[in-house]
Amino acid sequence: MQEKCPECGKPLRFVGQKWECSGDPFHKIPFSGNRGYTGTTSSPIPRNPATNQKGNIQVVPLRYPVLRSPGESSGIIAPKLRCPFCDYEFPLNEATVMSTVNPGKVLRSGQTGTLGRIFGPRGRLDKEIFTSEMAGYQCPRCLLVLPYHYESSTNIYIGVVGDTFSGKTHYLAALLSLMEEGGMAHNAVFSSVRFVPQTEYTTKMLEEYRQVFEEQQEFAITRPFLSGKKDEIPLWSPLIFNMLIRQSNSVQESRSVNLVFYDLSGEDIANEPRLAQYGWPVLRAHAFIYLADPLSMKGVVNLLPTDKKPRADYLSFYAHRSSNEVLDNVISVVRRWRGLAPDAQLSMPVAITISKSDLLEEIIPAAERQSMPFLSPVQYDGFVHIDDFMRNHEAISKWLITMKEMQLRQSALYVPNSSFFAVSATGGSANSVGKFAPMQSRRCLDPLLWILWRFATGAY
């Protein structure tokens, strides 16, 4: 007999190593063992791969995140939606519905008055006219039109943060390009994981990323946010992807999940006042990928050959930077923004990631690399290899000790739902004129895959 949801009576389904209601994934389901599940895994997933015990190593299929986010419609009487451009939250039935096929065309005016707010139309824009016009809700504050079906999706903000020169834009470009090209299931046989761009801006940026990679050029440094007139709304351009998962050997899930990324400058992230004033995309993030620059680690720089050390024009910058400084700043501002105690831990997933990992090949002897799997490339198959996460976390943690990077390890104590990673967006360093050898990214999807796994297991 199939078990049912205690709140609404609809059948339960098994998603991301936990049972959930097939009608509403946010109904609370009491834990009761594995409820007779006979899928690919049966042992419980630990809260952190670093605490995994021998014999509990697993390979699990990638599942949709189980998360109610601020960008998702909520509320029974007046569902609300949060704008990804200006962060304004508004009731759906007060927003004008606009065409994205014919810009400026109004399909339905927003409701006014008490009765209009309570009984006015709201929710998914699925009727014939809305579908043909790819309709979207218009934010009443910034007047920008939200992506098609954004109102009926779980919208998850992923904050990619790091200091100036940490390689954030290169990493983001490699990550998003791999996502869009199907890299997360490139070597898959029985599964498919796709990320579909949801805005013209996202598609445009992907084209620019590809062009820069094809020309083997460096990206220009992301400019800091320029404030306008007093009380002017700070607007950001998000990079939005809809997540589509297909597993041929399991029941298909029906869920719309958007991953939302922003490219903020390292200067805005590193500066606490600027982050607090303009950095709401970071402060509202549900998870972080933090890029720790190995060139800010004195133990690494001392061992690098001369041609790999920081260029002369960067020396003064790195002389006053540490690998953990920006992470500490972000943790501090997020605490204040969310009203937490000064020493409170943050519960969201944080992938602490060593960028430019190709530099580590210059300082780690070949004989020691067998114990450092993060230096080897990987083929993604649509599954989550928890044992790989565990081995990399332990290897990088030990390597940080040898580099005397104790402060970065200590910063991780304030984000206990975290793990260490190492990535290379380009596969090598640029030469003196800013040109790369043919670019080969390495393990750039690891941090995001781990974050999605954490969300799918409810560990946040």
Co-location of 240 and 367 in the same domain: yes
Helix (H) or strand (E) holding 131: helix 128-132
Q: Assign 165 a pLDDT band (cuts: 50, 70, 90).
A: confident
pLDDT (0 to 100) of residue 32: 45
Query: Residue 37: what pLDDT?
Result: 28
Domain presence at residue 161: yes
263/146 same-domain check: no
pLDDT of 312 higher than 90: no
- Which of 118, 152, 186 is the last residue in one of the domains? 152
In a domain, 334, yes or no: yes
Residue 20 maps to a domain: no
Beta pairing, strands 136-137 & 97-98: antiparallel
**For residues 411-417, average pLDDT:** 93
Most confident of 64-78, 210-224, 250-264, 367-381: 367-381
- How many domains, in total, are found in the chain? 2
Let me know whether 161 and 109 are in one domain.
no
Q: Looking at the structure, tell me whether residues 271 and 322 fall in a common domain.
A: yes
- Is residue 445 scored above 90 in pLDDT? yes
The answer on 251 and 314 residing in a single domain is yes
The pTM for the full model equals 0.83
Per residue in 237-293, pLDDT (tens digit) is 999 999 988 765 555 556 789 999 998 888 888 888 889 988 999 999 999 999 999
In this structure, the answer to whether residues 164 and 178 fall within a common structural domain is yes
Terminal CA-CA length for the chain:
31
Looking at the structure, do residues 170 and 289 belong to the same domain, yes or no? yes
Query: Are 120 and 219 part of one and the same domain?
Result: no
In a domain, 389, yes or no: yes
* Domain that includes residue 321, residue range: 154-456
239: domain CATH number? 3.40.50.300
- Kindly state the average pLDDT of the residues 26-51: 41
> Same domain for 200 and 246?
yes
Using CA atoms of 341, 454, 371, 52 in order, give the dihedral in degrees to the nearest 10: 80
Strands (E), 71-218: 80-82, 89-91, 97-98, 106-108, 136-137, 154-162, 191-197
Domain boundary among 152, 179, 202: 152
Residue 40 lies in a domain: no
Indicate whether 110 pLDDT > 50: yes
Structure confidence by residue, pLDDT tens digits, 57-100: 478 888 888 765 444 444 445 678 899 999 999 888 889 999 98
User: Is 50 inside any structural domain?
Assistant: no
Q: What pLDDT score was predicted for residue 231?
A: 65
**pLDDT range class, residue 52, cuts 50, 70, 90:** very low
Does residue 60 belong to any structural domain of this protein?
no
For residue 139, pLDDT beyond 70: yes
On whether residue 120 sits in a domain, the answer given is: yes
Q: What is the per-residue pLDDT for 189?
A: 59
Residues 106 and 197 in one domain: no
- CA separation for the pair 429, 358 (Å, rounded): 8
Indicate the pLDDT class of residue 34, thresholds 50, 70 and 90: very low
Shared domain for 118 and 209, answered yes or no, is: no
Structure tokens of 29?
């389901």
With 80 as the cut, is the pLDDT of residue 49 above it?
A: no
Q: Give the integer Cα–Cα distance in Å for 145 and 122.
A: 16
Last residue of a domain, one of 123, 152, 181: 152
Cα 207 to Cα 158, 180, 272, 436: the distances in Å are: 21, 11, 32, 19
Please say whether the beta carbons of 59 and 385 come within 8 A. yes
d(CA 377, CA 424): 10
Average pLDDT, the chain: 81
- Angle 295-398-168 from CA coordinates, rounded to 5°: 35
Does one domain contain both 404 and 299?
yes
Output the pLDDT for position 204.
Answer: 95
**What's the DSSP call for residue 180?**
H
Top-confidence residue, 339 or 217: 339
Query: Does residue 350 contact residue 415 with C-beta atoms inside 8 Å?
Result: yes
Regarding beta strands 97-98 and 191-197, do their DSSP bridges make them parallel or antiparallel, or are they unpaired?
unpaired
Which of the four pLDDT bands, split at 50, 70 and 90, describes residue 415?
Answer: very high
Q: Radius of gyration of the chain from Cα atoms?
A: 23
